[in-house]
Amino acid sequence: MTDTLTRATLVPELVVADLAASLRFWIDLIGFRVAYDRPENNFAYLDRDGAQVMLNQYNPSARHWLTGPMERPFGRGINLQIEVASVEPILARLEEAGWPLFMAVEDAWYRAGAIEVGQRQFLVQDPDGYLLRLGAKLGERPAGER
């Protein structure tokens, strides 16, 4: 692990079919970096400004904590929300790569008690079908204000 990495207190570990393909997506398109890896185990720990994820290539003879069969899309029923400073550079890289969006960019406001929290967001699936929701803060406003 690098000395400058502060490990998050919740880090999902995603089992992937092809680590190299996943790294191209997560690094080149989404903007993560490899904080550390274990190539001999087909494992990489990624970081993007404090958002962290572990990628581990599926190997039937290795130890994995699987609760069911590995069928695409992986991670059904979950989306990983990743806060970014701006969604536009990521959208541009995805468009340049011809990578489809699961949901187009939108401005959304979510009630959180007496306020609403806004974010510009979009959804995209990684090579294995894991759903990522990338969002940039728009600010806060009193609940019910339009």
Q: Where are the domains of the chain?
A: 13-60+76-142
CA dist., res. 110 & res. 140, Å (int): 9
Q: Look at residue 37 in the predicted model and tell me its pLDDT.
A: 97
Pairing of strands 51-57, 13-16: parallel
CA dist., res. 17 & res. 23, Å (int): 11
Q: Which residues pair with 13 in a beta bridge?
A: 54
Q: Look at residue 60 in the predicted model and tell me its pLDDT.
A: 80
pLDDT mean by block of 10 residues, the chain; 146 residues: 78 96 98 97 96 94 79 90 97 98 98 96 97 97 83
Q: Look at residue 3 in the predicted model and tell me its pLDDT.
A: 58
The CATH number of domain 13-60+76-142, selected from 3.20.20.80, 3.40.50.300, 3.90.1410.10, 3.10.180.10: 3.10.180.10
Q: Look at residue 1 in the predicted model and tell me its pLDDT.
A: 47
